[in-house]
A and B are shown apart, each in its own frame.
Chain A
């Protein structure tokens, strides 16, 4: 493997405007991020079930086989443990794998490589063997896929030190965060949602990198701080719009990354609103919402006027039936009720 040096990413460069008319889908933003990085860096390859000939089960990699060829866009057998484990070796020997799980639910088959190898390799080798793999795929309830196919892995995996966890809520962030993930020297779990792949927004054509650990203020208000990440950010925005009718205004923070977690932005907002609701599409027990509330209590207890409230899924396996799945997930009504609750 010839040495290959990339210029380091300059995060001090201001990000391009989010406003514009280049409306593309979330899946196209992901594709753009991967393709741009693959053009620059011959070490990057994409592997997973159905990613090449079929263009991805969810059409994220449309056209990539045609552009990059079968050595870099690789259809794998149905062997999640196999390709996740191989990615570890490939990354240790200098390549930059992007591994697509058709669903993060199937990553459970690959628990040993992704949890026991990837996050520990650098540590166990005294800083010698890095594992810069990006694992990406659909996370969360995809719409009536049943309990085994609807995993929200962030709650489970965030407990493990050594990985970074990225969870965009919109196409603009998806592109900038995925590019950063591919350039990152550490392993990154990148969580998408089947329910958002068709969402459209302005995505700049130019290259840009969104730094990890920086939340975005998605909406500003004074009465309560709404913290979320991934798909439920959109539910928070719906709830915020509805609450506005009752003259309740909220800050909505889109965390964008879970590890690292931008707790400072939460505290800054809390100092203004003195109320906190955390919305998390994982189960409540030992969840990221629990972590946020704990850290806020540890560092910002004095700024809380009322007890913080978590909106998680109900504490049961994901239901299969349509109506039940909706009732189980965080939704606009539950979020609005939670905000009202903090206001007493």
Chain B
């Protein structure tokens, strides 16, 4: 009996706008209009400005630990733009700020969050996103559950979940992929493969050549895209979102990108990264190639650039003012949001915590408790 091949697979890599700003017209067909590209480019600059200012705020002690998005913005912007605002849901980790902003999250919320204020995760009505998820990997299962709810409720919505290359080592990743594909739910798994998980390079994180191929094991459509190419990101995500909305189930996108900054402000990547590698990726910055593209089309020039940078700085200054102007949270907050309805014993604790500890006041033991009376 001869040995038969029972399965073969291949992974496609999609790039539409190359590092020099040269567009593949054929692949770009029906993707982004010139106006849209210009709008998203301007938006990218504003987001980069915010990111850099956030870094400085941390350094000057005005903000806690912050994970920079620098260099990865095309991912959040291209994919976020491909999802329907107000309809689809974003299920993020912590390195896709721009997608959240595109879907309506006011910028100061992100600053508020990293300043250590829970209210940064108190998402405004009408913005379809879940709170930032810091435990690595957990949000992928949540996205799958949200998509399952869409399916049961017969709503034509799609969930996009974001995670890093490192997160694919968690069991949650594999369980989410398996569930999503066996249940055929409308979810898009968007992996920002930025080559590093803190100090661990991708090749030590996994032995597979691509991240995209992991999806093959789960029978899921999968593609690798140039994550610094706004067009490729947009096209791949839009296709995946449309497929999901049409009942075609989940998809996987591996976006090859690079974390130009440190892991977070608590890290110093110079200790473990080759400066030549960083240098090479600087040249692949999504902003540089978009600018070249727009300038080549006569849609952009140095004056417009200067004007928009100026405008971005003003926007960001306003955002900081808003974030810092919000009064510090009160101790009441920590009790008010622990249960849907404040239980009597927490009500008592809320009153007494400033002066006393557990069981020190009669109220806390449940005796003479006016709340119970």
List of B residues within 8 angstroms of A297 by Cβ: none
Nearest-CB distance from A96 to chain B (Å)? 24
Contact A109 to B334, CB < 8 A, known contacts A53-B199, A78-B136, A78-B197 = no
B8 in contact (CB, < 8 A) = no
Please determine whether B116 and A78 come into contact, CB atoms closer than 8 angstroms.
no
B370 in contact (CB, < 8 A) = no
A75 in contact (CB, < 8 A) = yes
Nearest-CB distance from B66 to chain A (Å)? 12
Binary per-residue interface labels of chain A (289-327) against chain B in the complex, 1 for a CB within 8 Å, 0 otherwise: 000000000000000000101111011110111111001
Nearest-CB distance from A229 to chain B (Å)? 17
Contact A78 to B353, CB < 8 A, known contacts A50-B199, A320-B116, A321-B329 = no
Please determine whether A78 and B166 come into contact, CB atoms closer than 8 angstroms.
yes
Please determine whether B199 and A54 come into contact, CB atoms closer than 8 angstroms.
yes
Nearest-CB distance from B268 to chain A (Å)? 10
Complex CA gap A321/B358 in Å reads 21
Binary per-residue interface labels of chain B (189-205) against chain A in the complex, 1 for a CB within 8 Å, 0 otherwise: 00000000111100011
> Which residues in window 137-156 of B have CB below 8 A to A?
137
List of B residues within 8 angstroms of A265 by Cβ: none
List of A residues within 8 angstroms of B134 by Cβ: 146, 148-149
Please determine whether A324 and B171 come into contact, CB atoms closer than 8 angstroms.
no
List of B residues within 8 angstroms of A80 by Cβ: 170
Please determine whether B171 and A81 come into contact, CB atoms closer than 8 angstroms.
yes
| Listed residue (B172, B200, B353) with the most chain A CB atoms within 10 angstroms of its CB | B200
Stretch in A14-22, A127-135, A333-341 with 4+ CB within 8 Å of B: A333-341
Please determine whether A53 and B346 come into contact, CB atoms closer than 8 angstroms.
no
List of A residues within 8 angstroms of B371 by Cβ: none
Q: Which residue of B lies closest to A337 (CB)?
A: B356
| Listed residue (A284, A320, A330) with the most chain B CB atoms within 10 angstroms of its CB | A320
Please determine whether A321 and B359 come into contact, CB atoms closer than 8 angstroms.
no
Q: Which residue of B lies closest to A331 (CB)?
A: B357
Please determine whether B334 and A314 come into contact, CB atoms closer than 8 angstroms.
yes
B354 in contact (CB, < 8 A) = yes
A157 in contact (CB, < 8 A) = no
Binary per-residue interface labels of chain A (48-90) against chain B in the complex, 1 for a CB within 8 Å, 0 otherwise: 0110011001000000000000000001011111100000000
Please determine whether B169 and A78 come into contact, CB atoms closer than 8 angstroms.
yes
Complex CA gap A341/B361 in Å reads 10
The tally of CB-CB contacts under 8 A between chains A and B is: 120
Please determine whether B357 and A319 come into contact, CB atoms closer than 8 angstroms.
no
Please determine whether A75 and B200 come into contact, CB atoms closer than 8 angstroms.
yes
Please determine whether A79 and B171 come into contact, CB atoms closer than 8 angstroms.
yes
B24 in contact (CB, < 8 A) = no
Complex CA gap A148/B118 in Å reads 12
List of B residues within 8 angstroms of A148 by Cβ: 134-135
Complex CA gap A232/B116 in Å reads 23
Please determine whether B349 and A50 come into contact, CB atoms closer than 8 angstroms.
no
List of A residues within 8 angstroms of B271 by Cβ: 54
Complex CA gap A319/B170 in Å reads 26
List of A residues within 8 angstroms of B356 by Cβ: 334, 337-338, 341
Nearest-CB distance from B15 to chain A (Å)? 28
List of B residues within 8 angstroms of A310 by Cβ: 357-359
List of A residues within 8 angstroms of B338 by Cβ: 315-317
Please determine whether A50 and B200 come into contact, CB atoms closer than 8 angstroms.
yes
Complex CA gap A307/B361 in Å reads 12
Nearest-CB distance from A126 to chain B (Å)? 30
Please determine whether A315 and B116 come into contact, CB atoms closer than 8 angstroms.
no
Binary per-residue interface labels of chain B (239-282) against chain A in the complex, 1 for a CB within 8 Å, 0 otherwise: 00000000000000000000000000000000110000000000
**Which 10 A/B pairs are nearest by Cβ-Cβ distance?**
A77-B169, A54-B199, A316-B338, A311-B357, A334-B357, A79-B169, A78-B166, A144-B116, A78-B169, A319-B334
16 A-B Cβ contacts within 8 A? A54-B198, A54-B199, A77-B204, A77-B205, A78-B136, A78-B137, A78-B200, A109-B171, A314-B334, A314-B335, A316-B338, A327-B331, A327-B353, A328-B334, A338-B356, A338-B357
**Which residues of A does B touch, CB under 8 Å?**
49-50, 53-54, 57, 75, 77-82, 105-106, 109, 144, 146, 148-149, 284, 307, 309-312, 314-317, 319-324, 327-328, 330, 334-335, 337-338, 341
Known: A77-B169, A316-B335, A321-B117. 12 other contacts (CB 8 A): A50-B199, A50-B200, A54-B272, A57-B198, A81-B171, A148-B135, A312-B358, A316-B334, A321-B116, A327-B334, A327-B354, A337-B355
